[in-house]
Homo-oligomer: A and B are copies of this chain.
Amino acid sequence: MTEIAAITGSIARAARIIDVLTLAPDGLALNQIVERSEFSKTTAFRVLANMQDVGFVFQDPESRLYLLGHKLAQISQTAARSNIAGMAQRGMARLAALSEDTVFLSVPEGAAAICVARATGAYPIRTLTLNIGDRRPMGVGAGALALFCALGDEKRTAILAANRGWMAEYGITDADISAGFAAYQETGYAANIGRIVAGTSAVSVPVITARKRVVGALAIGAVDARMTFERTNETLIPALTQEATLLARRMDEMEQG
């Protein structure tokens, strides 16, 4: 899961404990939290007490187990932006069932693309290129490329400038991005053929709301052999497009309500 490098500040401690609790939907005893968070018992206890006060966590008075509290639900529900993962759930499951491959949802955050959801299909060779929480420079990888391509001219150039160094870590140059963008313009989808992880490919379409906000990108990843031209064009892209449209519509509904 997400690593928090240097644990400085109470908020980082709180985040770590939330991380721990996130992995245990049925609740955790204080000792288990201490163990997994590697904090002292006192620290864990105090942080938990503070978080209880604000509703981030809740302690079942009967079992004494700590659970994530209602406040987090409230937050994630109100912030439509944060909720896209929840809203995409069903659609991604459908895509995973149809394609049998792995489906990713990435969202933009500044010049980065962050994977916020993943669904895996039945095919025995799984391509788990991205984990939930992973950050990539925009443009690097199918989903990140779809996000990039969907933006306006000025934003693209600004992002390109900001990400040059970060992109280099993945061996991606401006020319690669230009080529990817040209392909996107022509075909309407973003593709990444074995460029990040050898042997795996992915295609992606952006999710764009009625107000033209680019809120995410849906991608399907698979081993190269499964990503044929026919399958991509006749099956995967139409399905992705349909789900992206549906998801965009649901995001629109949220924004007004």
Contacts and interface: CB of A to CB of B under 8 A. Distances in A.
Interface in A24-81: 25, 47, 50-51, 53-56, 58-62, 67-81
A10 to B, nearest CB: 4
A81 B93 contact: no
B54 A68 contact: no
B60 A110 contact: yes
Nearest to A15: B54
Interface stretch (A84-92, A171-179, A187-195, A223-231): A84-92
Copies of this subunit: 2
Nearest to A117: B77
A13 to B, nearest CB: 9
Task: Summarize A's interface: helix, strand, loop or mixed.
Answer: helix
A202 interface: no
Contacts of A81: 25, 67-68, 73
Contacts of A160: none
A218 interface: no
Contacts of A84: 73
B61 A68 contact: no
A39 to B, nearest CB: 14
A8 B69 CA distance: 19
Interface of A: 2, 4, 8-12, 14-15, 18, 21-23, 25, 47, 50-51, 53-56, 58-62, 67-87, 89-90, 93, 107, 109-111, 114, 116-117, 119, 132-133, 135, 158, 162, 250, 253-255, 257
